[in-house]
Amino acid sequence: MPTPHENLTTRVAQRRRYLMCRPEHFTVSYSINPWMEPSRPTDTAKAVRQWQALHDAYVELGHEVELIDPVPGLPDMVYTANGGFIVDGRALGVRFRVDERRGEERPFMDWFDGHGFEVVEPVEVQEGEGDFLLVGDTILAGTGFRSVGDSHRELAAVFGREVVSLRLVDPRFYHLDTAITVLDPVEGVGGVERANIAYLPSAFDEESRRVLAERYPDAIQVTDADGAVFGLNAASDGRHVFVSPRATDFAAQLEARGYVPVPVDLSELLLGGGGIKCCTLELRGGAR
Ligand code: ARG
């Protein structure tokens, strides 16, 4: 059982700034991942209600949420994590692998440009923060299903940071943010690296599992059952972890380490193959 009194004081929430998109046009009209079944009915009003609960949970815990206007005919635009990757006020746009989402590329880049970010137009195919995760000073970058390996080189050149490539092997976990949660992305005091993650080992090939085990010996390894309910598609501010209520073991593991799970149910958005993190793009730096 958790021992909160021992750990809670060590977990510090950091104020985040997120970009979200209200799922006013959400539906599943095509299938580009194993979760999407166009024959299955979707309930847009329910998607909006669930999304609103996530939005409100962020705001209540002190985070700033920016909104991009949803575009009719782009039902996946709610998954803003795929809209770009932003560090230090510089926004790398995306180039979707899948044609169905290419119409989102320009609206996202225009939003970044209009909000004081320096926009870099991408050359290689990649799907933004869905596949790129900042952990401390390092960017973990996924490939295997959507983002191509060459985009990792481009990423390193654009941001001048170390990029660690990881290969996804299970089609259900086709973006990196479905298989890794960044729990504590900040550096600790005195140069101590506190950045830590949780991940789903079975989503990665052997070499990537070796890299993850070596770099993050203290990581939470999440069960296949919690992975299968998109438990890893979670957002953390360093203390609160916004996570699916169905990922029960993961929540217990988080509590045992002094994090505070904040359950948010996005079951309707899971019909499109997305969850909490998919609906959340972190805006780092840039003018207000
Ligand atoms: N239907 C979307 C797609 O397949 C879901 C995207 C989920 N986003 C994410 N960051 N994992 O592209």
Q: Is residue 287 part of a domain?
A: no
Low-confidence ranges of the chain (pLDDT < 50): 1-9, 188-193
Domain of 101 in residue numbering reads as 4-282
Judge whether 179 and 221 are in contact, CB under 8 Å. no
Instruction: Give the model's pLDDT for residue 238.
Output: 93
By most ligand atoms within 8 Å of CB, the mutation choice from 21, 36, 40, 76 for ligand 1 is: 76
Indicate which CATH number applies to the domain containing 228: 3.75.10.10
Task: Identify whether 52 is part of a domain.
Answer: yes
d(CA 68, CA 50): 17
Q: What is the DSSP string of 31-57?
A: -SSTT--TTS---HHHHHHHHHHHHHH
For the chain, what is the domain count?
1
> Residue 283: which of 31, 90, 73, 54 has the closest Cα?
90
Strand 64-67 and strand 85-87: the pairing is: unpaired
278 in catalytic set = yes
**pLDDT 10s digits, 35-50:** 999 999 999 999 999 9
pLDDT at 195: 73
pLDDT digit string, tens, across residues 79-100: 999 999 999 999 999 999 999 9
Query: What is the distance in A from the centroid of ligand 1 to the CA of 274?
Result: 5
Measure the CA–CA gap between 255 and 185, rounded to whole angstroms. Answer: 18
- Which one, of 24, 279, 15, lies nearest residue 128 by Cα? 279
CA atoms within 13 A on the CB side of 17: 12
User: Is residue 123 included in any domain, yes or no?
Assistant: yes
User: Does any domain span residue 288?
Assistant: no
Going from the Cα of 65 to the center of ligand 1, the distance in angstroms, rounded, reads 20
**Does 114 map to a domain?**
yes
Which residues surround ligand 1 with Cβ inside 6 Å?
A: 32-33, 36, 76, 79, 81-82, 101, 130, 175, 177-178, 272-274, 278
